[in-house]
Amino acid sequence: MNSSNGNGSMSTASSSGAWNGRDQFPAGLRVLVVDDDQTCLMVFEKMLKTCLYQVTKCNKAETALSVLREHKNEFDIVISDVHMPDMDGFELLKHINSEMDLPVILISADARKQVVMKGVTYGACDYLIKPVRIETLKNIWQHVVRKKARNTF
Amino acid sequence: MELVQIQRRLVDYTKSLFMEGFLDAQFLQLQQLQDDSNPDFVFEVVSLFFEDSEKLLNELTIALDQPNVDFKKIDSHVHQLKGSSSSIGAQRVKNACIAFRNYCDVQNIEGCLTCLQQVKQECYLVKNKFETLFRLEQQIMASGGSVPTIELGF
């Protein structure tokens, strides 16, 4: 799954979307990470790969949305920056929540309470402040399990 | 200079960067991510940051030079710079961005101009620091040694 165009680009670590083998969990967790800043995106990708997750990165929200629409059920969780040109993290979150059943984590350097509040009320399962430490990313699988558990009961 | 001496110099130099506030704990996170499969990771990320920050600083200079200053645009650029600088542990750049945003919030052009100079200065300073750091690392590798890791307990 590799595509690039003039408007946005994405790249993925592996072409197989399948995650099986519960004993390896959370290794292989399929993460889509969205950030328009390439420095941040590079750091996130490396951290997530170090967590043994399967990482796909996007630098535009619109690209991320089309990837999610085209490859439904091939992702476990989305991590998105809040402040992005064109479509921002809140809008992406709204689309994802209305169209699919994926946990979304918002990330920002903006720690102002009203912005965090907005993220939470819009339905983000977590809101992380940059810079994000790898220890935090090691725990994101909990959101996937929690969401699945809620859907089951 | 002997390998051991260069290694010692690198450790001392890195520690001084933390003491002087140029770097914070996030930089250690980056170093921990570097491994044999990705031996130039820190160098690549830092280089990417300076590539991006140069563009952002140029945009900010142009934006503040307009007859009608677009503070929303400026805030957006500064916010991005704050995020990326914090991601590599460039603490003083990040702090300069925080001050910049405060002036932006109250639409104080003079304050913004001063902050822009400040941010440019901090980027310039930390860039030089990184260059020295990487040069020392290269010297160590060229002598067949390994780069010592820094403990945060100091």
Read off the pLDDT band of A39 (50, 70, 90).
very high
Judged against a pLDDT cut of 80, whether residue A10 lies above it is answered with no
ipTM, two decimals: 0.91
Size of interface A-B (CB pairs under 8 A): 57
Rounded distance between C-alpha atoms, residue A139 and residue A118, angstroms: 23
Considering only residues A11 and A103, tell me which one the structure prediction assigns the higher pLDDT: A103
pLDDT tier, A1 (very low <50, low <70, confident <90, very high otherwise):
very low
SS3 A110: coil
- Are A42 and B48 in contact (CB < 8 Å)? yes
Helix (H), strand (E) counts: chain B: 6, 0
For A109, the closest of B30, B83, B88 (CB atoms) is B83
Would you tell me how many other CB atoms lie within 10 Å of the CB of residue B104? Answer: 25
**Residues of chain B contacting residue A85, judged by C-beta atoms under 8 Å apart:** 76
**In the predicted structure, residue A15 carries a pLDDT above the cut 50:** no
- Which residues in chain B have their CB less than 8 angstroms from residue A48's CB? none
Q: Where are the domains of chain A?
A: 26-151
Is residue A46 pLDDT above 60, yes or no? yes
A19 in Cβ contact with A75 (< 8 Å): no
Q: Which two tokens stand for residue B29?
A: 């996170």
**Its pTM surpasses 0.95:** no
- Given 3.40.720.10, 1.10.10.10, 3.40.50.2300, 3.90.550.10, which CATH number is that of A26-151? 3.40.50.2300
Q: What are the E-state strand segments in A2-117? A: 3-4, 9-12, 30-34, 54-58, 77-81, 104-108
Amino acid letter for position B94 = K
The partner residue sitting opposite B83, judged by closest CB among A47, A130, A133, is: A130
pLDDT confidence of residue A5: 43
Is the pLDDT at B20 greater than 90? The verdict is yes
pLDDT at B153 over 80: no
**pLDDT tens by residue, B58-78:** 999 999 999 999 999 999 999
CATH top class, domain B3-142: mainly alpha
* Res A2 pLDDT > 60: no
- Report the pLDDT value the prediction gives residue A150, as an integer from 0 to 100: 82
Which of B26, B41, B84 lies at the smallest CB-CB distance from A37? B84
CA distance A82 to A79: 10
Inspect the interface and report whether the beta carbons of A131 and B26 lie closer than 8 Å.
Answer: yes
Q: How far is B26 from chain A (nearest CA, A)?
A: 7
Element (H, E) at A128: strand A126-129
* CA dihedral sign of residues B82, B87, B93, B96: positive
Both tokens of residue B90? Answer: 């460039």
| Beta carbons of A43 and B88 less than 8 Å apart | yes
